Structure 1
């Protein structure tokens, strides 16, 4: 392949798909992108150019690491011969990086995240099959205009709303609220439905200021100590993982009011698997009390992606009204197609 040929770019970042057993114990991300790609053999539906971003387990990634991946995506898409991009990534935080990439992606060409549940040196690794299917999606015309996607075990999900739903099973991801975009067969046949997209947000540079955003959970017997500690540590944003439709208690609600009064942004999400955050209850810390205290609803976004969106917004436009508006836009699933 010459540099003028149409091709898919593979950005390798580590994860289980690149991991092998280490002498120190446990699997470690060690294979380069070329090694990950060579495991495919001849199962490639488009020419591929491989670039290494880094080799890390995704549980180790920082927000700046995720920004670096997003910057690499934007850089390779400057080349008009690139059909699309595949990012190999660990599954632990794939939902966060893919969502950040989607928030800042303005190109029509597909970006597809994938990885594996089994290490490269396991008896039956699932990485090669996932990678082959992701390359097929990234090079397809059907993938254009769909934003950033996650492809796993043949199912193609939009990045918004996607989450890891199984710790070990091969079909590791789900998207209860934002749905499924389509399927890709083992032979690389892609079938996808249309998908609306929102305007891309700016991508800040890594290291250009890192406002602290913390996640605090509500649970039976929880109090305000952890949220107060986060604010004392300098948190400019808090994601409150509520119960039910986004509820807490009187102690947490009082701390939310104090946090908002001090200038911090608090967003209420939920630990529940599906459905929106809706302010309903008003008895000593329910969702309506949190709204009155100044908390912003995450809509259908779960805590992991709410944290990514708030972290990005605090870097590019910390205006509270604008943050509220964008959460209302981004937290709403697309309308079902007629």
Structure 2
């Protein structure tokens, strides 16, 4: 762990790995997270907008992370914010699952100071890495008074997004993220000038699970042409406490999946229906195995939350021993746009 102590007002950089820290490794040259947080910070090559204290949390590609790892990130953020000299926190993170970790942190974040996630699409040893610019801009956002009271943000390629609803929408493009339903929160220039839009109301945070909260299994099952309930049954047999169903359209499946979901919910398994569609809410509208029948079978519509963030919210609620009615109420509230 690398920690550079600072007694003045500063931003904390929590380094977790990802492409921003990756370099070619081995004979095949595959990129692997390898740079320390200090190396990632040093890569910006220009004076940061605010003094920065660096902490290495871990060094992983985000495709390797578990929900337990994400809870660890939440705990490190709380530890960093225990210091009153901290203006805000930046988390350098892989882009593959940044939307999941950022959303989990947002769900439990109980502090006006901003937490800003960022990363890179190009590895640290590429010809034109984008990580240094993204990090420099994220530091500016984390230390900006304008970003206070806005929860967890994601700053990438100059655009600032709220954590809720954000998703990676391009595999390789430098502006890799979008948020078609919840929109953007603002912009940050290459020179660190931050412009924020009007802040929506913040919902009350959920508790952060303790060490002994356990790790209930939550699986993601997709509906697709010709899908049967084989994978769903396998998930249940593996001990899943929760299922996120990636439906089609407005959140639809078929009769076979619907029957199995009715059995699962009757047995106490919590099932949430989301959709593979890019934008728009899950609306229980159709019968014959569609969304209306799924709701009748006990499945909970996710609203505007896509499968990735539905899985995070469901995992958190199960860790908190939330009853099914409370889970349904939480999805109804958090799956809609804030006031």
- What is the TM-score normalised by the length of structure 2? 0.97
Question: What is the rounded CA distance, in whole Å, between the counterparts of 2:266 and 2:286 in structure 1?
Answer: 22
Summarize the Cα distance change of 1:31–1:2 in structure 2 as closer, same or farther, 3 Å threshold.
closer
Q: Which residue of 2 aligns with 1:267?
A: 272
Q: Which residue of 2 aligns with 1:220?
A: 225
* Corresponding residue to 1:150 among 146, 150, 154: 154
Do 2:213 and 2:320's aligned partners in 1 also have CA atoms closer than 8 Å?
Answer: no
Do 1:8 and 1:48's aligned partners in 2 also have CA atoms closer than 8 Å?
Answer: yes
Q: Which residue of 2 aligns with 1:10?
A: 13
Count residues in correspondence. 334
Q: Which residue of 1 aligns with 2:53?
A: 49
Question: What is the rounded CA distance, in whole Å, between the counterparts of 1:43 and 1:200 in structure 2?
Answer: 34
Question: What is the rounded CA distance, in whole Å, between the counterparts of 1:206 and 1:34 in structure 2?
Answer: 29
Q: Which residue of 1 aligns with 2:203?
A: 198
Cα displacement (A) at 1:333:
1.3
* Corresponding residue to 2:246 among 241, 245, 254: 241
* Corresponding residue to 1:22 among 22, 25, 36: 25
Cα displacement (A) at 1:205:
3.2
Do 1:44 and 1:135's aligned partners in 2 also have CA atoms closer than 8 Å?
Answer: yes
* Corresponding residue to 1:103 among 98, 101, 107: 107
Do 1:67 and 1:206's aligned partners in 2 also have CA atoms closer than 8 Å?
Answer: no
Q: Which residue of 1 aligns with 2:62?
A: 58
Q: Which residue of 2 aligns with 1:257?
A: 262
Do 1:68 and 1:206's aligned partners in 2 also have CA atoms closer than 8 Å?
Answer: no
Confirm whether residue 141 of structure 1 aligns to residue 145 of structure 2. Answer: yes
Confirm whether residue 40 of structure 1 aligns to residue 44 of structure 2. Answer: yes
- Following TM superposition, the consecutive aligned residue runs of length 4 or more in structure 1 with deviations greater than 4 angstroms are none
- Mark the runs of 5 or more structure 1 residues left unpaired by the alignment: none
Cα displacement (A) at 1:41:
1.9
* Corresponding residue to 1:293 among 290, 293, 297: 297
* Corresponding residue to 2:177 among 130, 149, 173: 173
Do 2:217 and 2:241's aligned partners in 1 also have CA atoms closer than 8 Å?
Answer: yes
- Mark the runs of 5 or more structure 2 residues left unpaired by the alignment: none
